[in-house]
Amino acid sequence: MDSARLLAWQRDIESGLIPVEIFGDEAVLRLELERIFGKSWLFVAHETEVPNCGDFVLRRFGQDEVICVRDKRGTLRVLLNHCRHRGTPVCREHRGNASQFRCPYHGWVYDNSGAWVGAPFKRQSYPALDESAWGLLSAPRVESYRGLVFASLDEGAPPLREYLGDMCWYLDCAFGLHSDGMYVHTEAQRWRVRANWKTAAENFLCDAYHVPSLHRSIEGIGLVPDVNKAVERQFHLDLENGHGAILSERMLPPPWSTWGYPPQVSQLFELERLTPEQRRFLDTYLITTFTIYPNLSFIRVPGLPEPGLAPVVYTCLRQWQPVAADEIEIWSWTLSWRVAPAWFNDAAHKASLCAFGPAGMFEQDDTVAWSGAPAMGRSVFAQRRGQHLHYQMGNANPEYRPRTDWMGPGVATTTALGEGPQRSFYRRWLHDMRRPAPAAAASHRLPVLGASCEASPAERGTP
C-alpha cells in the first residue's frame, strides 16, 4: 500500500468521507491482517468456556485458527493450530479437554502448553532435536478482564487494561454486577455472511440511525415497540483507542430496573461492588451496544422470547472475523448471570436467538444491508467517479454535542443522530494502517544432514 494512497485517505477520513474502496479490496484486508489484527488485542474466549486445566476451544484470530487452552498449570494459552513439522492442524474438535495435541499426519505430539513432547521413532528419527525450539507457536500476550480473554501477537503491546482504557469503567458496569459473574449459556454460534468486518464493527459501535428504517418491519409485527422513540432515548459514547458505545435511557417501565432486569434478578445484584459514579450511571442509563476495537461487540437490550410474553434482557457478545474483503464469519455468544434463575436465563437466551441468532429477525435485516459496501467498493462505476461514503452526520448539527454533565469517562453526546464515534473508529483504523509493519522473527537456516546421516545440532527456532 503506497504512502500517497494512505495520505489521501487521511485527508478524506478527517473530513468524514470514507473511501469506498477500503471495503472491497483484498490488498487492504491483507494489510489489516498484518497491522491491525497482527498487533491489536483480540478477543478469543470467555473464561467460563475453559474453566478447568486441559479445557480448550478452537477460535479464529484474524484468519488464523488457534487453540485457546488452559494448560496443566491453569495458565491460559493461545496456540496456532498448525503442526511445526508439515503445518497440519493438530486439533480438529471445536471444544473439549486434552492433555496433549497429536498431529494426524506424522504423529508429532505437543502438550497443552504447546511444548513439543514426542514423535514416533523419536530416538532414531530425532536424536539431536532441540525440543524447546519446536513447540506450537504461541501468542506472546494473553490476558483477561471481567472474564473476557484477549490475546495479542505483539510482544510490545500495552497491557490489556491500558489498551481497553476507559472502556474498563463500562465493562465493570456490564459484567461486574455480581461476584459470580456471567457464563456462556451455550456453545458459540457461527455463520458466514457477505460483509466487510468494519461495517459490522461500526454498526454496533454507534449506529442507532439505521434502526427506524432497517428494522421497521419488526416493529410492524409487534416484536419491538416504537423504534423512533427508542432512538430518541439513545446517545453515543466516544472512547479512546477506537472503542465506543450506544447508551440509552430507561427502556422498560417499573417494576423493571433501570438497566432492564425484573425484580427477581435485579435484587440479586451486588451494587456495592461498583463506585458511586457507576451506580449513579446505572440508575439512569443502559449500555445498549459497544465495540472494543477492532472486532468485538456487545449488545444488551430487552427482547421477547416469543410473542405475548414479558420482555427479558439478554446479553450477547459478537465478533466479526474477516474471511475475505467481502465476507465475515460472525461468532455469537449469549451470556447469562450465574446468580439469576434458570427460567430467566433460558428465556433471555431464547430472546437473543430470536433477535440475533443466525435466523434472527434483526440479524437478517442487518446482514443484507451490510453486503452493499464491499460490492460498491469493487464497482467500476464507483471507482471511475472516485466515490466516498458519507460519514459527516452530526458535524453541522448543534443538537449533536458533548454532554457537559456526564458522570463517566469518555465523551457522551446529547443524541445518537451523529457519526462521531465512527469517525474516531476510522481515524484509529488509519493510524494502525500507516504504522510500520511488524518486525518479522529472525529467520533460521535448517541444519544440513551430514554424509553419515546423523543430524547436526538443531538451530533454535521460534517457540
Q: Among 144, 176, 206, where does a domain finish? A: 144
Q: Long-range contacts of range 137-140, CB-CB < 8 Å, 24 or more positions apart?
A: 137/79, 137/80, 137/82, 137/84, 137/462, 137/463, 138/77, 138/78, 138/79, 138/80, 138/114, 138/463, 139/61, 139/66, 139/77, 139/78, 139/79
Whether 443 maps to a domain, the answer reads: no
Residue 374's pLDDT is what? 93
pLDDT tens sequence across 221-242: 766 666 667 788 899 999 988 9
Q: Quick one: average pLDDT of 238-260? A: 89
Name which of 141, 213, 146 is nearest 183 in CA terms: 146
pLDDT of residue 436: 79
Do 137 and 169 sit in the same domain of this protein? no
Q: Are residues 118 and 192 in the same domain?
A: no
How far is Cα 193 from Cα 370, in angstroms, rounded to an integer? 9
> Cβ distance 57 to 333 under 8 Å?
no
- Is 365 a member of any domain? yes
Bridge-based pairing state of the strands 55-61 and 95-97 = antiparallel
My answer on whether 187 and 234 are in the same domain is: yes
- Total number of domains constituting the chain: 2
Residue 151 burial (C-beta neighbours within 10 Å; 0-12, 13-18, 19+): buried
Neighbours of 245 (CB within 10 A): 27
Which residues in 90-172 belong to E strands, given as ranges?
Answer: 95-97, 100-102, 109-111, 116-118, 141-145, 148-152
Residue 451 pLDDT = 31
Helices (H) and strands (E) in the chain, counts: 16, 21
pLDDT band at 4 (very low <50, low <70, confident <90, very high): confident
Q: Is residue 328 part of a domain?
A: yes
What pLDDT is stored for residue 229 in this prediction? 72
**Is residue 103 a part of any domain in this protein?**
yes
* CA 289, 144, 137, 462 torsion-angle sign: positive
Q: Are residues 169 and 137 both part of a single domain? A: no
Query: Taking residues 104-112, what's their average pLDDT?
Result: 97
Question: Per-residue pLDDT tens for 20-36?
Answer: 999 999 999 999 999 99
Distances (CA, A) of 168 to 52, 160, 235, 278, 292: 26, 10, 19, 11, 10
Per the rule left: phi > 0, alpha: psi between -120 and 50, beta: everything else, 432 is alpha
Report the pLDDT value the prediction gives residue 223, as an integer from 0 to 100: 66
Between CA 289 and CA 298, with CA 292 as vertex, the angle to 5 degrees is 30
For residues 203 and 235, membership in a common domain is answered with yes
Pair 146, 47: CB distance under 8 Å: no
pLDDT tens digits along 277-332: 999 999 999 999 999 999 999 999 988 888 778 889 999 999 999 999 999 999 99
Q: How many CB atoms lie within 10 A of CB 105?
A: 13
Same domain, 133 and 227: no
Q: Is 108 contained in some domain?
A: yes
Range of 225's domain?
Answer: 165-434
Instruction: Identify any residues that bridge with 330 across adjacent strands, giving them in sequence order.
Output: 191, 320
* pLDDT confidence band for 438 (50 / 70 / 90): low
pLDDT at 28 (0 to 100): 96
> Rounded distance, CA 89 to CA 104, Å?
8
Decide if 5 is inside a domain. no
323 and 186 within one domain: yes
From residue 212, how far is each of 16, 145, 224, 263, 399 by CA, in Å?
Answer: 23, 34, 11, 30, 19
Rounded CA separation 118/111 (Å): 9
Domain CATH for 427: 3.90.380.10
**Pick from 102, 135, 148: which is nearest to 296 by CA?**
148
CA angle 11, 16, 18 (to 5 degrees): 75
Q: Give the residue from 114, 119, 17, 139 showing the smallest Cα distance to 419.
A: 17
Q: Strands 76-80 and 64-70, how do they pair?
A: antiparallel
pLDDT value of position 444: 42
Residue 139 lies in a domain: yes
Q: In terms of domains, do 186 and 242 share one?
A: yes
Q: For residues 330 and 458, give the distance between their C-alpha atoms in angstroms, rounded to a whole number.
A: 42
Query: Is the same domain home to 229 and 97?
Result: no
- DSSP state, residue 196: -
- How many CB atoms are closer than 10 A to CB 64? 17
Q: Return the number of other C-beta atoms located less than 10 Å from residue 122's C-beta.
A: 15
Question: Is residue 347 located within the same domain as residue 306?
Answer: yes
Q: Which of 423, 318, 329 is nearest to 17 (CA)?
A: 423
- With both helix axes pointing from N to C terminus, report the angle between 420-434 and 26-35 in degrees, rounded to the nearest 10: 80
- Residue 194 shares a structural domain with residue 308: yes
* Distance from C-alpha of 41 to C-alpha of 22, rounded to nearest angstrom: 22
Query: Is 125 a domain residue?
Result: yes
Are residues 292 and 173 part of one domain? yes
The yes-or-no verdict on residue 413 having pLDDT over 60 is yes
Secondary structure of 390-416 as H, E, C letters = ECCCCCCCCCCCECCCCCCCCEEECCC
